[in-house]
Amino acid sequence: MIVEMRTYTIQPGTTPEYFRVYESMGMEAQKEILGHMVGYYATEIGELNQVVHMWAYDDLNSRVERRAKLMKDERWQRMLPELRKFIVAQKTQILIPAPFAKIPKID
């Protein structure tokens, strides 16, 4: 299993609007296609104006296949230009759980 962690730095003060656009236009498609959302967060202390979300996959191949399918989804494509307005920078990391980490099995 792997976890993809994406961190978006967004325009200051736009977190509520970012979440509104994502929830109303993209969340359904992303959850349906990517599958296992580990979490979706906004930073409160430290480096501010960041949105962090994490998705679990069986392996890198599963991630590549699911993300390719998401990019073809009409709902997702309609949302992207609206969400990109807020984004200043993006960082993506692939995390591998420690042997003792208890992460629920992906359905």
pLDDT digits (tens, 9 = 90+) for 40-64: 999 999 999 999 999 999 999 999 9
pLDDT tens-place string over residues 58-107? 999 999 999 999 999 999 999 999 999 999 999 999 999 998 887 666 65
Taken in order of first residue, the domains within the chain and their CATH numbers are: 2-95 (3.30.70.100)
Strands 50-57 and 2-10: antiparallel
Kind of pairing, strands 50-57 and 36-42? antiparallel
